Amino acid sequence: MGCFSRNIISKTALYSLMAASFVGMGPFSLAHIWADQIAPRSLTLSDSLGAQHGVTYKVAMGIPTTATVGSVRVQFCSNTSLTDDPCVAPVGFDDSGAVLSTQTGAAGFSISNNSTANELILSRPPIVQAPVIATYTFDNITNPTDGGSYYARVYTYASSDGSGASTDDGGLAFAINPSLSVSAEVPPYLTFCVGESITGLDCTSATEPFSDLGDLTPTTTSAAQSQLLVATNAGNGYSMYVLGNTMTSGNHTLTAMNGNTAQKGTSQFGLNLRANTVPAVGQDTSGPGFAAVTSGYSQPDHFRFLSGDSLASSPSADDYRKYTVSYVIDVAANQPGGVYSTTLTYVCLANF
Partner 1 sequence: MKIQNKVGRTLYAVAAFLLVVTGISSGFIGHASANQVTARSITISNSNGGTNNVAYTLAFTTATTSNVGGIVVDFCSNDPIIGDSCTAPAGFDVNKSTTTIGTQVGITGNSIDTTNSTANKLILTRTASSISTGTAVSIPLGDGSTTGFHNPTAIGSYFARIYTYATTAAAQGHSTNSPSGYVDYGGIALSTAAVINITAKVQETLSFCVYKTACGDDPSFTLGHAVGTATVIDSTAVDTQPANFSISTNANGGVVVRMKGDTLKSGSNTIAAAGSSAATITAGTAAFGARVSTSGTNITPTAPYNNGSGTQYGLDITTSNTPNTNVTSTYGGQIATLSGPTTASVSTVTFAATASATTPAGTYTAAEQLIATGTF
Cis peptide leading into residue 40 (ω within 30°): yes
Q: Is 121 in the site for partner 1 (CB under 8 A)?
A: no
In the complex with partner 1, which residue's Cβ is closer, 60 or 224? 60
- Residue 181's Cβ-count burial label (10 Å; 0-12, 13-18, 19+) is exposed
**Dist. CA 348–CA 234, nearest whole Å:** 12
Question: Judged by CB under 8 A, does residue 125 bind partner 1?
Answer: no
The stretch among 109-117, 226-234, 249-257, 337-345 that binds partner 1 (CB under 8 A) is: 226-234
Segment near partner 1 (CB under 8 A), from 229-237, 248-256, 332-340, 341-349?
229-237
**1 lies in the binding site for partner 1 (CB under 8 A):** no
Is 41 an interacting residue with respect to partner 1 (CB under 8 A)?
A: yes
248-249/345-350 β-pairing: unpaired
Burial class (CB in 10 A: 0-12, 13-18, 19+), 271: buried
Among 8, 30, 39, 278, binds partner 1 (CB under 8 A): 39
Q: Which is nearer to partner 1, 134 or 224 (CB)?
A: 134
Number of neighbours of residue 345 by Cβ within 10 angstroms: 10
Residue among 46, 96, 253, 286 that touches partner 1 (CB under 8 A): 46
DSSP for 94-144? B-TT-EEEEEESS---EE-TT-BTTEEEEEEEEEEE-SEEEEEEEEEEBPP
What is the C-alpha to C-alpha distance for residues 333 and 330, in angstroms, rounded to an integer? 10
Question: CB 33 → partner 1: shortest distance, Å?
Answer: 13
| CA–CA separation, 31 and 45 (whole Å) | 32
Closest to partner 1 by CB, 49 vs 89, is 49
**36 scored as a contact of partner 1 (CB under 8 A):** no
Under the criterion CB under 8 A, does residue 59 sit at the interface with partner 1?
A: no
Binding residues for partner 1 restricted to 145-184, rule: CB under 8 A: 149, 151, 170-175, 177-184
| Min separation Cβ 351 and partner 1, Å | 12
The Cα 119–Cα 196 span in angstroms is: 78
One residue of 47, 161, 284, 309 binding partner 1 per CB under 8 A:
47
Binding site for partner 1 (CB under 8 A): 39-49, 56, 58, 60, 80-82, 84-85, 149, 151, 170-175, 177-189, 231, 233-235, 288, 316-320, 352
